A and B are shown apart, each in its own frame.
Chain A
Amino acid sequence: DAGITQSPRHKVTETGTPVTLRCHQTENHRYMYWYRQDPGHGLRLIHYSYGVKDTDKGEVSDGYSVSRSKTEDFLLTLESATSSQTSVYFCAISEVNQPQHFGDGTRLSIL
């Protein structure tokens, strides 16, 4: 989706290191989300934001934190990465009562 950019697209890091993933949108949408996608599971919500500095936990928030200092940017941080956090991470955006639109994902490998 041209309006959502995730960076980096791929990352390999070691257990115990901090990792920050960035989601940038150009649509000025109110809501932003972070999901992880693993084999055998549907997309699972990690955290979401309903405005600048307004965030809330999702289904699988343990080990993750987020920040949204500007409407267009939503950061996902793994304070101390673990192998169980190896996954593909997707950012999504939406407006109220509208479908979510997704970025192309970040493939994160933690060795």
Chain B
Amino acid sequence: GESVGLHLPTLSVQEGDNSIINCAYSNSASDYFIWYKQESGKGPQFIIDIRSNMDKRQGQRVTVLLNKTVKHLSLQIAATQPGDSAVYFCAQGGNYGQNFVFGPGTRLSVLP
């Protein structure tokens, strides 16, 4: 069946450095991918999304890269800040937004 996973369960970075969080997916038919951030005690917060007709999309301090050939998704955070400390999920889905498959998450810790 479908699966969405993460290469690293935890990631520690120095404040000011760039962070890269990776995600592998199995369903090559999916055409919509999302990154979420979840802080302790809160619900997942939408960060950025990308559709399968794109390879890269940029937001404010974040970039998502999609490599369909190897079914790999990554989230890059520039100049990581203490407020970026959280768990990050990738999600894979179809056209209508339902039945998304979520990865278990990567915890990002920002060191002072």
Contacts and interface: CB of A to CB of B under 8 A. Distances in A.
A42 B101 contact: yes
Nearest to B31: A97
Interface in B89-112: 89, 91, 95-105
A104 B44 CA distance: 8
A96 B89 contact: no
Contacts, number: 63
Interface stretch (A43-51, A63-71, A78-86): A43-51
Given A45-B98, A105-B41, 12 more contacts: A41-B104, A42-B4, A42-B104, A42-B105, A43-B102, A48-B98, A48-B99, A50-B98, A58-B99, A96-B95, A97-B96, A99-B97
6 contacts: A31-B97, A45-B99, A96-B95, A96-B96, A99-B46, A100-B46
Interface residues of B, number: 24
B44 A97 contact: no
Nearest to A1: B43
